[in-house]
Every structure is written in structure tokens, then in C-alpha cells.
Structure 1
Amino acid sequence: MEMKLRNEILVSVSAATVFLLGGVILTSAGCSTLPAAAKVTTYAGPRGEPPSDDFCVRVDGKPVFVYQARVSAVPFNQSWPGYERPLDQTEIASFACWDMSGPVTVEVVSKQAVDRVAVRPTSYGIQPKVDGNRITFALKRPRQVTVEVNGSHKALHLFANPPETDVPRLTDANVRYFGPGMHRPGKIVLKSNETVYIAGGAVVHGVIEATEASNLRILGRGILDVSTFKRETKVWAENDPSFESKAPNERVAIHTATDGGVFGGAISLCGCQNVHIEGIVIRDSNRWTLVPAGCRGIRIANVKLIGLWRFNTDGINIVNSEDVTIDGCFIRSFDDSICIKGQPGRCWHGYVAGTRPVRNVTVSNCVIWNDWGTAFQFGDGAWAPEIAHLLFRDCDIIRTCHIAMGFGPAYGGATIQDVRFEDIRVEIDDEASKPMIQQGREAKYTGTKGDYCPRLIYQVIGKHMTGSVRNVLFKNITVTGSGRRFPLSILRGFSAERCVENVVIENLRINGKLISDLATGGFTIGKHVKNVKFQ
């Protein structure tokens, strides 16, 4: 139920004020702002939300509710457009959230025996102490980590937030407020100057959409859950026997006309300006999760994406948009985690944006776990006047499946240029399994652990891509973790005009070794590649 300030009882607890809403306590110091008070703020899980079967968590002695999230168990995909994924390819992971204003001690009790444990990103230098099935470690500041007991399966994801400082006035007519508890609003359509606030301890079963709106905010510490929305199942081939003979742009037109522009996704923004999304968790999207299409002035901060197990569940897709910042986010996605796209026709929810560029995008301080696709991807489309001025900085890729940093647009004619990857840390899992395509609905995954290593850099121009890739910098790239397998890279153009050129690789280190040439770094250079430099 959507709530507009239904505060029944006020009580005083440890000099902080709390609201008791629907039987669940939400810590708060007022209706407009939340000043720093308690060192740790926790939120009870709502009635009807099942707790994790695998972990219990305390932070500075305070119990923290641990949620469940379905995730991919194996790197097993279906050729596009696919269908709703079978559950036997998935597993249940766990996650917990709290706010903190200073260093804390985190205590995790695993319900399985602990033979080994890893806290990632490893660049944080967190060394857990293990006593039986009890794991403890210090967390110096708000950040996102995973706790992996006996390997990566059924992992625990911990989302430590800073204290809230931008809580909207709940009496404002333009605020759609969801207090602690379970809510089922379905589709939420925003208009200009509106705010959605999802409080800690709230689970909102719904999706958020806006078209040509401005000055929007989506904030809070709660969860936007898309699990009740089915994946779109209408496909090109079902409705057009000549699908395979169609040109790529004709296939897209057929698809959008058939589906009526209804594709799914958790947050879909079409032609919007000045949008701020911060603090929430998004769980179990039914397709691309968070999509600005044809937008300008988008800020996404401290957003956590988890439970993306279905086919084609990308994380954040920037489609023909400008002036976008993604900062301090955690993304565990099945398909591509952060993807830069130029899309033709009615590219998303029936909105036409293909004439707009992708420009001025900054991704920073993010943690990425990719279960099937690519961590940072440019493609599959490059239908745009320009794709340029893009910065990926200070990010940890704790797992990726196919590629860490990939340029592989299949179609379109944009030139991708002026791209920088700086201070990117990539962890290679010795137990990684080879990705496979499912051959028929009854086929089972047959890969084994430890027989695969993803690519580090992939810059390839395909036969349907008529643009080029140029002026790309890879600086301070660190690869760690694999003592057995070496991540390879490939650069290849298609023709003299459709080439890869002006690539600088500065201070690339693999397991501590400085890479100063192509051969040592495992690079394959194909035709139509110009001016690759190591520094």
C-alpha cells in the first residue's frame, strides 16, 4: 500500500526517534532529514519476506535482517530472444543492508561448515577471522562486499550504506512514500517533479517508468522487487518466418511492433532529464534492469542490483543518453553489467532515441559481479551519431564471465571514441566454469569448475558494424587471483575505414607483473588495428 505519512506511534530509543509503521520500526529523526545519530541503523524485514536460510548477520552486535535473492548458478544461456529461465539453473543467495557512520565489526554466522572464506573485493584488504562457523571482520566505512563461504555459490552480499541525508518531506504532494512493509503497487508512472521514496524495511513489488519527465528522484534504503513481473516471451521468429533473412534494423522494427513496446525492466526512463536515483536495492528484474533511453542528466548512486538471474537481465544500460554518472553501485547481473548502447527504432518501451548520441558517461567506485556476459560492455548496438567521452574509474570486477572490458557492437555505424578505463581491478576466479549456450529446453549444463578464464580486453568490429573504435586508454589495470589461467585479450578491425586505432595500455599488471608488450600480456592483434602502445 502506498503511504503518505501514516505515522501511528512515536517512541524514543537511544536518543533517536523511530516511527512504528505497520509493525516494523524505521529509524528516523524527522520528516525532512536524518542527522547522524546512531552509529549503525538497521531495518527489520517486512512481514511475509522470508529470511535467508544460510546466514545470520550482526553489525556491532545489532542483528541485521538477511534477505534472499535468486541468482544464476551456472553460466548457461539461451540464444536471443530466449524465454523464462528454468529454475534448476539458479540458486538462492543472500544479502543484508544497514547504514553506518563509522568503523564497525561485522559478524556472520554460516549455517554450513566453513572450510574457507573470501571477502571481496580483495582490493579492500579485508582479512576475516574464522571461529567454527562464525566469521568476523572490520569494515572501516560504508561499502559493498561479498562473503563467499567454500566458494562462490550461495554467497552473502553485504550492502553497508552511509547515513541518509536526503529524505524527502513525506507531506509533499509530489512524494510517493512507501514505508516499512510489503507493497504491491504494480507499475508506477512518474511525472515531472515527482519523487519515489522506498524506506528501509520496505519491499515494493513493482516497476517504475517515466517518459519525457524531468526533475525526478527515486530514493531510499528499501527494495524495488520485480519478481512478480514475467519476462516478455513474444519473439521475432515466432511472428515472422523470414526473421533470419531480415536486416538487423528490420528485425528490431518487427520486434517492437509485435511486443507493443512492452519490454519490462525495473526502472525505465525514456526521454527524461535531471533524474537522481540513490540508495535502493533492485531485486529480480525481468529484463534490462535500469535503463535511461534518450535521457540527459542522470545520476545513479549507491544503487544495489541483485537477483538478476533471468535471460537478458543486464544491469544498467545507457541507451542514447548524455551526461550520466554511475557512482558507488553494486551490480550482480546475469547478462552485461554496465552496457553502453545505441539502439534504433523504438528502442525501449516504444521510445525513439536512436538519433541521439551516447556522450559524457562516468562510472566510478562500483563493484561488479557478472554471471554470464561482460562487466563493462559497448554493444550490442551502435546506432547513434556518436558514442564518446566515457570514463570508467576506480572499479572492482570481482567476477566476470566472458569479458571484463569489451567493445563488440554487432550493428550500427557510430564511432566509439575517447574512452578511458582507469584504476580497474579485475579478479580472476580459479574455479570459473566455461559459459555455454543451451541447445534445446531440456539441455543441461555440463561445464566443470576451473576449465575457463574470461578475456580481459575485447575490441572487435563485426561485419554489421560500420563505425570504428579509437582513442582508448587502459591505465592502472590490475588483474589478480588466477595462478593457473591467464586472461587473454584481442583487438581486431574489419577494414581500413572500420578499424581499431590509438589504443594506449599504461601500467597493466597481471598478478603483480608489469606488462610491457603484446605477447607478455596475452594480446592477439588482428587486421586493421593501428597504433597500439604500452607505457
Structure 2
Amino acid sequence: MKYTNSRVVVYEGPKSLKDARPEDLIPANEERGDCSLMHSTSAHVSVNGQDLYVYETMVNYSRSWNNAYLPPLGKTPMTYFDFEGKVRLSVTMDEFDIEKVTLSPLSYGIEPRISEDGHSVEFELDHPDNYTLTFNDSPERAVHIFTNSPEDGADIPDPDDPSVIYIGPGEWDIECIMLKKGQTLYLAGGAVVHGIVNANFENDIRVCGRGIIDGSSFEGWKGNSARIPLKFDHCDDLTIKDVIVLGSNAWCLQGYDNQRGLIDGVRIISARPNSDGITLQSVQDYTVRNAFVRSWDDSLVVKNYDRNSENISFENTQIWTDLAQSMEIGYETNKGKKADAYIRNITFKDITVLNNYHKPAISIHNADDADISDIVFDNITIEHEEIGSGDGSQMPYLIDLWVCQSGNWSTTIDRGNIHDVVIRNVKVLSGNDVKCRLKGYDEEHTITGVEIENVNILGKDLTISDFVR
């Protein structure tokens, strides 16, 4: 079959990346194994007959916290390309027989065809998005395929512009890129930057392109030294678009004390302890959309570290949460001990959770004295959950609204409240028969005004009376 009306843009990866050996794919902690970003030699992906460069990046299949910060780290294949029209993909896995395959998001209804020899699958795509192939009902060796529409002239800045930092294809060791007011960092497709991108007290900053920011060359932070790939503190008017973040040594994308931000089309795969995906702390007027986050800590999280958080929207985003929560507000809701602290007008809409293995998928944990209100979770599809796995058995709740005191996270002496929360159009397609919780702290610090509408867990409709209190 020929796809003569399609347009495809592929990006050759750096030839200098190490080829992954079979032993590199066996999970091991970073002191015993090689956690660096590699070129895959056992996973092969092609589009319309053109071979794609496939990376091997760190993932973490364990579901329990490791006090030494040294959990076993495996690897999974990832590739990316741009297209328009309709394209045919072929994916071959040398390592195992394919008896069953699933392509997510399931909402597309695409059923890949398994080859006669049981090592390849084929399928068609006609819409750029983030796609994940899962084999034999196992999370291990899932293939992540990130696709975009082709860039146009407006997407690519002028390399000769003095306000542009342009990084072309290839492998680059740049420990830290510090951006200044009005600057644009562009990572071309095929670029791999081993390092971090930060800014402090700067405005009007843009990070964009098809390239990769990789943190695997840094030692895991072990509670001491976090190297955050995308970290922007006290920065207003920020745009981050389409870049890929892999191998962070701690959390992955941080916005702190910012106003007016757009995070659009960012893809994140992280595996090491405390590798939260997108964490927004004391920000206002932010939109996160079209993202993909696979994390080994909270995937999308809002906190108050200083001033208040409000007007934040997470839209059309896919999540795979190997540890902790998928969509979280809290626990730190007034770490700065500000008077009259609040978090309000936060929306999670059109979210697909591919997998949630550990703690709640939808959660508000008010562990300080903030007032949390006007929160909406709308049109949430959870394809698979195994909530309570590992040490997540302490919190085996799909939805958890809780005013609490935490020995780990509480800063203020007093407690706060949660009110005016809407949870609607939520469905869980497969997983455990889990509970939901709605629990205030005492008679003065409560949860009120919660609206539950069209929430279905494994075929059973949920009402407010079904919540554990």
C-alpha cells in the first residue's frame, strides 16, 4: 500500500550514542548498570518504509520507594517523527514473541496487526499525537512513539538572530544553558543535549524544537543535588513547546513563582526517585496542553511554595504514572507560610491516563492551611490502573480528597479547607476494584461542595455516597 498523499519528516539520531546491548536492558540500579541514553538495536520502527532512529531511555517498573535512591532502572524504546496525511508504521521487537499488542490511546480504536512470525506489528496513523504500544499485557518494553505536524517557517527561529540559541542535530554535552530575557532556545530534530536549561528572574523566554534534553549523564540526586532539565523560577511569559525530556536525575519541568506560561507538546519520560513530571509551584495563568508525561513520582502537580496558585489548566494530555499520583494538588499548599493562602481555579480536562500503578489518579491533599477551591476534573479516561501496588497500599484510592497533617510535607500548624470541586465524565476501563475517599480534618477544616457526575469505575457508576469518609 502506498501513501502518496502523506508527508513525513524523520530525524536521524546521533551516531555517537552507544548501541544498547541485551545486558543494558536488564533492570539494575544506576551504580550497577548503565542508565545512559542509548540507541536501540532490538526495537525497530519504520514509517512508510523509512527507518526511524529509536532511543533506549530509562524507565522504572518498581512500585515502592527506595530509601537509598537506587531503584532498579530498566529501559524502554522511544522514537519520534513528523507527518501529515496518512502513514503506515511497522514496529519489530527482536527480544520476544508478540502474542498480544495494544495501541494507546485506546480512543483511536487502532488495532495493530501482528506478523506471522510474531515479532512485528503494523498499523496506520492519520493524526499526529503521542502513541504507546504495549505488548503481551505487560508494561515492560512498551514503545513510545511521539509525532508532530511538520514544522513551518514560523516554528523555526532564525539561527542568525542574536536572541536565538540554535542547537543543531548531534550529541552535545552542555552542563547548563542559562536563558536571559527575550531569548529563544531552539533544539533541532536529531539534537540530544546532555544538560539542563534554567532561568531565574527573566521574562519572555521560549524553548522549542524537536530535540531532546537528557539528564542521564548526571548522577541521581539522592536527596542532595537536583539537576532539573527545565527549571524556570521567578520568570513570566514563558513558552515551552515540543521538546522531549528524558533521564532526569530528579523532577523534570518546574515552574516556580511565575505568571503567564504555556507548556505545549512537551514529552517527558522519567525514572529516578522524585522525578515528578510537570510541577507548578505558586504560578498564575498557566496552560499545559498536548503533553505526554511518564514519571516515577507525581505526573502533573500544583503546589504553593510561595505566593498563591490560580488559573492553571491542564488539557489534552497523556499520563503514565509508575509511582505516586497522576493529577495532584498538594501536599505542600502553603510552604511559604503566607497569610490567607489559596489555590483556586485549577482544571484538568481531556486527560488520558494510560497507566496508574501506585497512588490516587485524581487527588487533592491539603496538608497546610490553604483554602483550595474551584477545582475541575473533566473528561478523564483511565485506561488501566493498579492502584495500591507496592507500597501504594497505604493509599488505595482512585480519587482522594483529603485535608490532612503530614509528617513529611506539612509546614503550617493550622489546617485548611477544600470546597467547590467538580469531578465529571471520568471512566476507568480496566484495573483494580478501588475505593475513593473524601476526608476532612475536623469540624472546622472540611471538604464541601463536591459534585460527582458521570463517574464510572469498571462499569459501576460512582456517587458521592460511595466515598470512604
TM range (shorter): 0.7 to 0.9
1:274–1:297: 8 Å Cα contact kept in structure 2? yes
Q: Secondary structure at the match of 2:107?
A: helix
Give CA deviations for 1:164-223 in whole Å, capped at 9, x if unaligned. 231111111111111000111111111100111111001001101111111111000010
Query: Aligned equivalents of 2:420 and 2:256: distance in 1?
Result: 25
1:457: which partner in 2? 399
- The share of aligned pairs that are identical, in percent, is 29
Q: Which of 109, 124, 130 matches 1:125?
A: 109
User: Does residue 181 of structure 1 match 2:170?
Assistant: yes
The match for 2:355 is 399
Structure-2 separation of matches of 1:516 and 1:371: 28
The residue type equivalent to 1:414 in the other structure is A
Tell me the distance in 2 between the aligned counterparts of 1:156 and 1:417. 38
Distance in 2 between the 1:135 and 1:197 partners? 34
List structure 1 runs of 4+ shifted beyond 4 angstroms.
Answer: 451-454
CA contact (8 A) 1:200 1:220 kept: yes
2:374 corresponds, among 386, 394, 418, to: 418
CA distance in 2, matches of 1:419, 1:148: 33
CA 453–358 in structure 1, closer or farther in 2 if over 3 Å, else same: closer
Matches within 5 A, 1:429-468: 429=385, 434-436=389-391, 454-463=396-405, 464=410, 466-468=415-417
The letter of the residue matching 1:137 is F
* 1:6-45 paired onto structure 2 within 5 Å: 39-45=7-13
Structure of larger gyration radius = 1
Q: Alignment partner for residue 60 of structure 1, among 45, 48, 60?
A: 48
Distance in 1 (CA, whole Å) between partners of 2:359 and 2:388 is: 11
Q: Are 2:84 and 2:126, in contact at CA under 8 Å, matched by a contact in 1? A: no
Q: Is the 8 A contact 1:214 1:272 kept in 2?
A: yes
Matched residue type, 2:195: G
1:205–1:226 CA contact under 8 A, matched in 2 = yes
Distance (whole Å) between structure 2 residues aligned to residue 117 and residue 284 of structure 1: 26
Give runs of aligned pairs for residues 193-204 of structure 1, distance below 5 A.
Answer: 193-204=182-193
Q: Distance in 2 between matches of 1:197 and 1:361?
A: 25
Aligned positions of 1:512-523 closer than 5 A: 512-516=459-463, 518-519=465-466, 523=467
Structure-1 separation of matches of 2:223 and 2:129: 39
Alignment check: 8 A CA contact 2:359 2:388 kept: no
Q: Which segment drifts farther, 470-479 or 115-124? A: 115-124
Check whether the contact 2:362–2:400 (CA below 8 A) recurs between aligned residues: yes
Q: Give how far 1:428 is off.
A: 2.5
Q: Secondary structure at the match of 1:518?
A: helix
Q: How many Å apart are 1:509 and its aligned residue?
A: 1.8
| 2:31 corresponds to | none
Task: Say if 1:84 and 1:373 are closer, same or farther in 2 by CA, change over 3 A.
Answer: same
Q: Residue 454 and residue 329 in structure 1: after superposition, are their counterparts in 2 closer, same or farther (change >3 A)?
A: farther
The answer to whether the 8 Å contact 2:240/2:262 transfers is: yes
Aligned: 1:160 with 2:170: no
For 1:303-322, list aligned pairs within 5 A.
303-306=266-269, 308-322=270-284
The structural deviation recorded for 1:453 is 10
Q: Given the two structures, how large is their TM-score scaled by the length of structure 1?
A: 0.76
2:439 aligned residue: 492
Please tell me whether residue 477 in structure 1 is matched to residue 426 in structure 2: yes
Contact 1:372/1:435 (<8 A) preserved: no
SS at match of 1:123: helix
| Structure 2 counterpart of 1:104, one-letter code | V
100, 117, 134: which one aligns with 2:83: 100
The alpha-carbon distance between structure 1 residues 494 and 369, as it changes in their structure 2 partners (threshold 3 A), is same
Residue of 133, 136, 148 corresponding to 2:122: 136
Is this contact kept in 1: 2:197–2:229, CA < 8 A?
Answer: yes
- Give ranges in structure 2 of 5+ residues lacking alignment: 18-37
Q: Matched residue of 1:282: which SS?
A: strand
Distance 1:115 1:492, change over 3 A: same
Of the structure 1 ranges 377-386 and 153-162, higher mean CA displacement relative to structure 2 is found in 377-386
Deviation at 1:38, TM superposition (A): 6.7
Write the deviation string for residues 437-473 of structure 1: whole angstroms up to 9, x where unpaired.
8xxxxxxxxxxxxx99952200111135611111000
Cross-structure match for 2:451: 504
Deviations 1:395-421 (CA, angstroms, capped at 9, x unpaired): 1011112111011233x2211100001
Contact between 1:269 and 1:292, CA under 8 Å: does it hold in 2? yes
Deviation at 1:481, TM superposition (A): 1.5
Is 2:366–2:418's contact at 8 Å kept on the other side of the alignment? no
Describe the shift of the 1:479–1:142 C-alpha distance in structure 2 as closer, same or farther (beyond 3 A). Answer: same
Residues 93 and 506 (structure 1), Cα distance of their counterparts in 2 relative to 1, 3 Å cut: same
In structure 2, the CA distance between the partners of 1:341 and 1:453, relative to structure 1 (3 Å rule), is: closer
Distance in 2, Cα, partners of 1:293 & 1:516:
36
Q: Is there any run of 5+ residues in structure 1 with no aligned partner, and where? A: 1-36, 236-261, 344-353, 438-450, 527-535
Deviations 1:142-161 (A, max 9, x none): 11111011211121111011
Residue 367 of structure 1 corresponds to which residue in structure 2?
318
Give the 3 Å change call, closer, same or farther, for CA 433–74 of structure 1 in structure 2. farther
* CA RMSD of superposed structures (Å): 2.0
1:364 and 1:503 map into 2 onto residues whose CA distance is 21
- 8 A contact 1:223–1:282 mirrored in 2: yes
User: In 2, Cα distance between the equivalents of 1:58 and 1:325?
Assistant: 33
Give the whole-Å Cα distance in 1 for the aligned partners of 2:415 and 2:463: 31
1:163 maps to a residue whose letter is P
Q: 1:513: Cα distance to partner?
A: 4.0
One-letter amino acid matched to 1:196: L
Matched-pair contact (CA < 8 Å) for 1:121–1:145: yes
Name the counterpart of 1:27. Answer: none
Q: Distance in 2 between matches of 1:77 and 1:513?
A: 32
- How many angstroms apart in 2 are the aligned matches of 1:214 and 1:196? 14
CA–CA distance in 2 between the matches of 1:477 and 1:206? Answer: 38
Choose the corresponding residue for 2:65, options 64, 68, 77: 77
Preserved CA contact (<8 Å) 1:295 1:322: yes
Contact 1:83/1:311, CA 8 A, preserved across alignment: no
Aligned to 1:90: 73
Code of the aligned partner of 2:349? R
